[in-house]
Amino acid sequence: MAANFKLNGKVFAIPPDLKDVTLVEYLRDHLGQTGTKFGCGIGSCGACTVHIDGQAERSCQTVLADIAGAQITTIEGLSFGGKLHPVQEAWITEQVPQCGYCQPGQIMTAAALQNENPNPNDQDIRDAMNGNLCRCGTYQKIRNAVRLAAGGQIK
């Protein structure tokens, strides 16, 4: 029996010949879901972050065999019912992105943090977001947006 996974609520079968393909490559180059970004391929930059069963994970370090039975949420599936996730709203209010390439990964990490810790302090934010690199240097705005999404004050 072919193994399945759920992507943003829809069921997909794992093609037996693609079990060793990384999730980021499958999403982008097979399914055309390009919101998840490839950054480094070694789990060092966080650009490819998705949620696997609610946890922020590196899709470049995950192969399809690993996700049998799992629920995957990507940036395309983060908003629900036509309404943006509060983290996405905060990203817009704060005008976080510069080039924007790392931001889907940043947002997925921030959304997972919000689930785990609805009221993060500055150190919590820095710790949780430390695996997501941004070469444009939007870190300060990211911290502000995470605080804003949690109903906190902007520094």
Distance CA 50, CA 72 (A): 7
Q: Does 63 bind another protein (CB under 8 A)?
A: no
Q: Going by C-beta distance under 8 Å and a sequence separation of 6 or more, which residues neighbour residue 29? A: none
Site string for another protein, 90-129 (x = CB under 8 A): -xx--xxxxxxxxxx--x-----------------xxx-x
Q: Does 19 bind another protein (CB under 8 A)?
A: no
Q: Does 38 bind another protein (CB under 8 A)?
A: yes
Distance CA 152, CA 57 (A): 26
Q: Looking at this protein, which amino acid is placed at residue 97?
A: P
SS3 label, residue 124: helix
SS3 label, residue 58: strand
| Span interacting with another protein, options 51-59, 65-73, 74-82, 112-120, rule CB under 8 A | 74-82
Q: Going by C-beta distance under 8 Å and a sequence separation of 6 or more, which residues neighbour residue 1? A: none
| Span interacting with another protein, options 51-59, 64-72, 88-96, 113-121, rule CB under 8 A | 88-96
The residue ranges that bind another protein (CB under 8 A) are 20-21, 25, 28-30, 32, 34-42, 44-45, 47, 74-76, 78-79, 84, 88, 91-92, 95-104, 107, 125-127, 129-143, 155
